[in-house]
Structure 1
Amino acid sequence: MTEIGSPVAQAPAPTSAEASQFDTTAARKQWQVILRRFLRHKAAVVGLGLFVLLVLFAFLGGLVWKYPFTDLGFKRYLPPSADHPFGTDRLGGDMVALIIRGTQFSIQIALVVALVSTVIGVVLGALAGYLRGWVDSVISRFIDLLLVIPSIVIAAVLVRNSFVLSVAGGSNSNWLVVALYLGLIGWLAIARVIRGMVLSLREKEFIEAARALGASTTRIIFKHILPNTVDVIIVNATLAIAQAVLLEAALSFIGLGVQSPDTSLGLMISLNKNELTLHPWLFFIPFAFIVLISLSVNFMGDGLRDAFDPRQKRVKA
């Protein structure tokens, strides 16, 4: 029993190792909650599994499939059969091999677009929201300008420009040109979202404290503000993949996207659009893969949004 007036025993302060372990445990618990929320979203789990299968099909399928996509020695317009599950095309190529190749290029383009558009949108949106003033005005007016210029005009200028093609590897490879183009116009939406979030976060107490301690603008933006927008960044990057697949397919369909000898699902649809009535499998099979990629990524995006949403109900242990 402690006597009156005697000093009360105090617990020893935690050591740096204990504090670090506590921070790690707290972070791990947060990610566990996010993972549990994601796994409880059945459509998102199905979408993730489907997208993984599509990626394996695109990047490993060519190693195990018996016919290469360059083999054009088969009979033309063969319907789906045991030997050619997706049939053959107008040149006598095996459609399974061509779908593998086209899916690979479509996913490559989508990933590059998501990376480029996310980086540009996050940086410019954060600068506009934090610095405000003339910087915000310039970036916002530039976004408005790009929104009113028809995308098809920019596509014709960038994709067909001989200088850009030479930078990307000449006329023998232009999928990177298409990806960069889509990335350069795909950052507008995420920039606006990040700008709005940063406008709110810059007035928070922890940002005011960082300014008072003399933190630089770069450190405040990238160390304190952007980590608090990671949920929005991840969700928008995921959805950008689905949008890129659809945009690339649209461009290739009208002749402004991927060009031969490269290929993509959109290009395959464009080349076989006149075969819709006579040989429908040549059109509908690549179309189905575009739909599967878009749906799987959209389901994943919905699941990630719900998992990161702090307004969700607490996950039961």
Structure 2
Amino acid sequence: MTEIGSPVAAPAAPTSGGEGSQFDSTAARKQWQVILRRFTRHKAALVGLVLFALLVLFAFFGGLLWKHPYTETTRRYLPPSADHPFGTDRLGFDMVAQIIRGTQFSLQIAIFVAVLSTIIGVVLGALAGYKRGWVDAVISRFIDLILVIPSLVIAAVLVRNSFVASVAGGGGSNWLIVALYLGLIMWLSIARVIRGMVLSLREKEFVEAARALGASTTRIVFRHILPNTVDVIIVNATLAIAQAVLLEAALSFIGLGVQSPDTSLGLMISLNKNELTLHPWLFFMPFLFIVLISLSVNFIGDGLRDAFDPRQKRVKA
């Protein structure tokens, strides 16, 4: 008989066939179902996901459907109308076509930056946290050094270097240079976060067991430790997209970012900043798209953070 007040063991979950591996896969699927359910119940995250998907479709496929190509010119400074919903700029280019092209460049820069900064930050942060000692000291001091040097000084050197531009840009195109610069300075925060998590995970029993079995450092870090930080990696990579859009816009606004023949939303704002009083649509339209991209990605990041948070009580497991 069971004593009063003592816990009663829960019945074992039924399995078809009684295989342990099948039970494990079912448990794994259940965990992802809970994460997905938490994300879908986050209304702002869903709105952000839909909005970001529409912006991506607009940027990469809008030019195929829009009637005015970005190279076509007409009358200058036409106000918004049925034929030109966003008007025309000082050279007579249709602003819808220009914003489609600018959004495409801004998004491809942001995605490139998010991938590059995440890879660098995760690898260096994991090595610093796992190896500790002189490896941790070198990486940590290098991070501190980059944080001390003014970012605009590094930007001026990288973006204006004609040799790098000729090699990486190809014929005057410099968006890749801007993306590389942003990727090389935006990995600092995620490296610090991953380092702190790895410092804690390296003392866990499963890591000790892998080390005792003779697993290499590379296998322990990438096979056993980093999979346990995937939630932090995903959230930080998502938020890096929004940060990259804003940083690229700031650099382009002060003349250190994307240059012609490339374009971006930040460059469009910079070129039209003097038109704010006479032709405000030239300034506010690209500004609006920067705000929409940043808000949508931040909403997605908030939803992912809540979905992966084990302390989240929005959905009962």
TM over 0.5: yes
- Residue 61 in structure 1 maps to residue 62 in structure 2: yes
Q: Distance in 2 between matches of 1:169 and 1:44?
A: 36
Letter in structure 1 aligned against 2:49: L
* Aligned partner of residue 168 in structure 1, secondary structure: helix
Q: Distance in 1 between matches of 2:97 and 2:236?
A: 32
TM-superposition CA deviations, 1:171-217 (whole Å, max 9, x none): 43111110011001110000000000000111111111111111111
Q: CA RMSD in A?
A: 1.5
Query: 2:169·2:177 contact (CA, 8 Å) conserved in 1?
Result: no
Q: Distance in 2 between matches of 1:127 and 1:316?
A: 36
Q: Distance in 2 between matches of 1:29 and 1:276?
A: 53
Cross-structure match for 2:101: 101
* Aligned partner of residue 278 in structure 2, secondary structure: coil
Letter in structure 2 aligned against 1:137: A
TM-superposition CA deviations, 1:190-248 (whole Å, max 9, x none): 00000000001111111111111111111110001000000000000000000000000
Q: Distance in 1 between matches of 2:299 and 2:263?
A: 26
**Percent identity of paired positions between Structure 1 and Structure 2:** 86
Cross-structure match for 2:10: none
Cross-structure match for 1:37: 38
Cross-structure match for 1:125: 125
Cross-structure match for 2:22: 21
Q: Distance in 2 between matches of 1:103 and 1:16?
A: 53
- Residue 266 in structure 1 maps to residue 279 in structure 2: no
Q: Distance in 1 between matches of 2:16 and 2:34?
A: 27
Shift of 1:17: 9.6
* Aligned partner of residue 93 in structure 1, secondary structure: coil
* Aligned partner of residue 75 in structure 1, secondary structure: coil
Query: 2:107·2:245 contact (CA, 8 Å) conserved in 1?
Result: yes
TM-score in terms of structure 2 length: 0.93
Moved over 4 A (4+): 14-17
Cross-structure match for 1:114: 114
Q: Distance in 2 between matches of 1:280 and 1:171?
A: 33
Distance 1:17 1:266, change over 3 A: farther
Q: Distance in 2 between matches of 1:286 and 1:58?
A: 12
Shift of 1:309: 0.3
TM-score in terms of structure 1 length: 0.93
Letter in structure 2 aligned against 1:26: A
- Residue pairs, 1:196-215, within 5 angstroms: 196-215=196-215
Q: Distance in 2 between matches of 1:55 and 1:19?
A: 43
* Aligned partner of residue 256 in structure 2, secondary structure: coil
* Aligned partner of residue 310 in structure 1, secondary structure: coil
Cross-structure match for 1:250: 250
- Residue 279 in structure 1 maps to residue 301 in structure 2: no
Letter in structure 2 aligned against 1:24: S
Distance 1:285 1:314, change over 3 A: closer
TM-superposition CA deviations, 1:88-142 (whole Å, max 9, x none): 0000000000000000000000000000000000000000000000000000000
Query: 2:102·2:268 contact (CA, 8 Å) conserved in 1?
Result: yes
Letter in structure 2 aligned against 1:70: T
Unaligned runs of 5+ in 1: 1-13
Cross-structure match for 1:220: 220
Shift of 1:166: 1.6
Q: Distance in 2 between matches of 1:172 and 1:23?
A: 54
Cross-structure match for 1:159: 159
Query: 2:125·2:193 contact (CA, 8 Å) conserved in 1?
Result: yes
Q: Distance in 2 between matches of 1:146 and 1:183?
A: 13
Q: Distance in 1 between matches of 2:281 and 2:264?
A: 16
Instruction: Provide the aligned length of Structure 1 versus Structure 2.
Output: 303
Distance 1:195 1:284, change over 3 A: same
Unaligned runs of 5+ in 2: 1-14
